[in-house]
A and B are shown apart, each in its own frame.
Chain A
Amino acid sequence: MIAYDLSPLFLSLKVATISTILVFFTSLILARFMCRYDFFGKSVIDALILLPLVLPPTVIGFGLIVLFGMNGPFGKLLEDLFGIRIVFSWVGAAIASFVVSLPLMYQSVMAAFEKVDPRWENVARTMGVSEWRIFRTITFPLAWSGILAGLILSFARGIGEFGATLMIAGYIPGVTETVPLAIYFAYEAGEMEKAIFWVIVISAVGVTAITWVNYWRKKNAYRIGRE
């Protein structure tokens, strides 16, 4: 058996984990805000958050280069202030994963929050409990099942991100070579065995994640969400 360099797997896991953590907190804040408040232009903001779902990955990649490229506003700022270069680095791959998985997580969290009966929150309010504690002890635990599904979807989307990652992070073996990039360039180079190896690895990661979520949901369905 041929031994392959496993760095693309570790890099993909690192990129997907970091982007999922960022997506988790960003989506919670955005969804909570959008669920609770009505304001002028709300539907436009909603559309902007969901836009990456319908845009081709090349457009997202192009947008990221414009914003985070060496002459882009954020790219220049980050390099001047912290010496962080986004293009041709794994950070760029993490940002690309974040942008493409945010709408998936946002939709899941919104749906999960909307499923929580407002009566439970109102009962807690009449008991004099603060909004933060209501969120921590009522809304979040009751929405957790949907949030977890969103997390897994986002992680899977992050680990499989290809187009935007290629545009902003490029293909530098050992530096920005994630599993999807490794598959594409192995195929391009005619290394079919290597491509198949990575296809099996990424499929195994996906199947494991989905199986675990389904198991967890079944295990906890007996009381969460029921009265």
Chain B
Amino acid sequence: MLNVDFRKQLEQFELHMQFQMGKEIVAVVGSSGSGKTTLLNCIAGIMQPDAGGISLHGTDFYKESKKPLKIQKRRVGYLFQDYALFPHLSVEQNILYATSRNNDIAHISELTKILDISLLLSKYPHQISGGEKQRVALARALAAKPDLLLLDEPFSALDDETRSRCQSELLRIHELWSIPVILVTHRIEDAQKLAKRCIRIEKGRMTEQLQP
């Protein structure tokens, strides 16, 4: 169970988020600059809230007046908006980056098979398409077996056909892994297709929680 209840002062407004979620996909929708990415950054530990708390399965990520849990210890998979693949490493090195032990090989080969990227392993990020980058970044985020998956506009750079295929893959992976997934998007269609629940934020305020 992920518990989020925090406040953070941003330049234009105060971001106030309060929700709970289980092993489901929750979409966060809102216009640009509404605080969606800040929400993910606070959960991942890249930014710290000013007050409140964030916890996952009883482990405090952030609790007011306590030292925040280090990013490295949060076991969060984070897919950045433009994927942030390491440009100097091959696809295989990107995916294997966090896994140094051989016992992860079965998990990795299963991931590459599911995401259909086995033929890309020797290529570099600048040699593959946007859709392929998205799948590689997803494989990398899942390679370290995270307890929570954060997706920041994962489909924004994809054409309709690739977007649809990647969405199906994400649903398949979620069925197999069954971990909480927060999907940030500005497209209500993505939220409707993928999420059980949808949170809308405007200028840092949660305006509604809907069942898409």
Contacts and interface: CB of A to CB of B under 8 A. Distances in A.
B72 A128 contact: yes
Contact of A127 (B83, B88, B126, B144): B144
B85 to A, nearest CB: 6
Nearest to A137: B97
Given A125-B71, A128-B72, A225 B84 contact: no
Given A227-B125, A227-B126, A128 B98 contact: yes
A94 interface: no
Contact of B78 (A123, A224, A226): A123
B90 to A, nearest CB: 10
B153 to A, nearest CB: 13
B111 interface: no
Interface of A: 117, 119-120, 122-130, 137-138, 141-142, 222-227
A141 B89 CA distance: 10
Contact of B126 (A128, A137, A226): A226
Interface in B62-95: 71-78, 80, 82-88
B88 A130 contact: no
A126 B76 contact: yes
Contacts of B75: 128
A126 B87 contact: no
A226 B87 CA distance: 6
A141 B97 CA distance: 14
| Max chain B Cβ within 10 angstroms of own Cβ: one of A117, A126, A227 | A126
Nearest to A138: B86
Given A123-B80, A125-B71, A128-B72, A224 B97 contact: no
B199 to A, nearest CB: 22
A119 B85 contact: no
Given A122-B46, A125-B72, 12 more contacts: A119-B84, A122-B44, A123-B86, A125-B45, A126-B76, A129-B97, A223-B88, A223-B124, A223-B126, A226-B125, A227-B85, A227-B87
Contact of A130 (B45, B46, B72, B80): B72
Contacts of B44: 122, 126
Contacts of B82: 227
15 contacts: A119-B80, A123-B140, A124-B98, A126-B141, A127-B97, A129-B97, A137-B97, A222-B126, A223-B88, A223-B124, A223-B126, A224-B87, A224-B88, A226-B87, A227-B126
A223 B87 contact: yes
B145 to A, nearest CB: 10
Contacts of A119: 80, 84
A128 B84 contact: no
Contact of B98 (A127, A141, A222): A127
Nearest to A128: B72
Contacts of A130: 72
B88 A126 contact: no
A120 B73 CA distance: 17
A40 B104 CA distance: 45
Which are the 8 A-B pairs with shortest beta-carbon distances? A127-B98, A125-B71, A119-B84, A126-B78, A227-B87, A226-B126, A128-B72, A127-B144
Contacts of B77: 126-127
Contact of A128 (B73, B86, B88, B124): B73
Nearest to B127: A223
A128 B83 CA distance: 18
A82 to B, nearest CB: 42
Contacts of B76: 126
Contacts of A141: 88
A129 B124 contact: no
Nearest to A144: B88
